[in-house]
Amino acid sequence: MGLLRIMMPPKLQLLSILAFGVSMLFIENQIQKLEESRTKLERTIARHEVREVEQRHTQDGVRDTPPLAEAEDVVIIYNRVPKTASTSFTNIAYDLCGKNHFHVLHINTTKNNPVMSLQDQVRFVRNVTSWREMKPGFYHGHVAFLDFSKYGVRGKPVYINVVRDPIQRLVSYYYFLRFGDDYRPGLRRRKQGDKKTFDECVSAGGSDCASEKLWLQIPFFCGHYSECWNVGSRWALDQAKYNLLNEYLLVGVTEELEDFIMMLEAALPRFFKGATGLYKTGKKSHLRKTTEKKPPTKESVAKLQQSDIWKMENEFYEFALEQFQFVRAHAVREKDGELYLLAQNFFYEKIYPKVN
């Protein structure tokens, strides 16, 4: 007796496909809602913890508290530019904070808006400078540079940052919005479902790959002035250069991240002792990788390079790269393909008056 072959009518097949599609959309929607609920819960818990610490700080303020030791009274702010290997670097700080005894805090702004309101600027500056329980502290987040000297507080944080080739940064961000990364692969991204490649976007004159989208690293370093966010502003470029030289201890480049980490370990061992070894051997050194990323063609790159915006962003990147390489040249030496930190190269002499 032969096997019965049951054929599903075409209408039922179509209904089954539609039902499956609706089910998948429903599941994705539920995952997104769960992710949003988790984020809200994390923020609520964080606010509650901050209030508890602030209450303790207020109560302690009534009593005389001894000043912190100089080595402990330090705050680093890493106002990270999106898609510059910032997650890879930040995870090193998270891995080291327990061993090196410092605090790591993420600055989570609403909708990742890098510009704070005036009242939030004041709150943030006061928190950073007076929050004893969180010192020494490493703050990181997608926030534009803030000049602490404007707010009448004592002491300034140590700023660090990393920049990246502007076109490579934009390409990475373009695919990140569509395909996400291997850090949270299940999270639905804003442009998920759009299969258009970066080259196709450039060819079609799309908004997500327009030259205006390159304007990001300059305003992040320029800060909270309105002119910083006027695309193509020469004043913003000059201010960003000024801040890089005068307000940042060190600005590295994504393409030479290991050298950046090595130099931070040498300059700030209180925070970064062991960072270089961790970066070379740790599993999290390249934790976040954008998926489905395709390198742009020479034609797409050439088209973007025709814009004045690219020329300005690239000028800033080259400026940062030159400064980083200058600092590195005076801090390390290369031998057999490996970099070695220079020993201390100054000492004191002719000290008067003489001590008997």
CATH of the domain at 193: 3.40.50.300
Answer for the pair 188, 28: CB distance below 8 angstroms, yes or no. yes
Q: Would 132 be classed as within a structural domain? A: yes
Q: Would 293 be classed as within a structural domain? A: yes
pTM: 0.80
Q: Would 58 be classed as within a structural domain? A: no
Q: Are strands 248-253 and 332-335 parallel, antiparallel or unpaired?
A: unpaired
CA–CA dist 156, 176 (Å, integer)? 34
Residues of the chain with pLDDT under 70: 1-8, 11, 28, 32, 35-65, 180-193, 283-292
Answer for the pair 300, 198: CB distance below 8 angstroms, yes or no. yes
Domain count, the chain: 1
Q: Would 42 be classed as within a structural domain? A: no
pLDDT value of position 2:
43
Q: Would 26 be classed as within a structural domain? A: no
Answer for the pair 224, 145: CB distance below 8 angstroms, yes or no. yes
Q: Residue 248: CB partners within 8 Å, gap ≥ 6?
A: 159, 160, 161, 221
CA–CA dist 100, 187 (Å, integer)? 32
Using CB atoms within 10 Å of the CB of residue 167, give its burial: 0 to 12 exposed, 13 to 18 middle, 19+ buried: buried
CA–CA dist 189, 134 (Å, integer)? 33
- 316: containing domain: 68-341
Answer for the pair 72, 264: CB distance below 8 angstroms, yes or no. no
Beta bridge partners of 139: 77, 105
Q: Would 227 be classed as within a structural domain? A: yes
Q: Would 329 be classed as within a structural domain? A: yes
What positions carry a catalytic annotation?
A: 140, 142
Question: What backbone phi and psi angles, to 5 degrees, belong to 261?
Answer: -65, -40
pLDDT value of position 68:
80
pLDDT value of position 324:
98
Q: Would 154 be classed as within a structural domain? A: yes
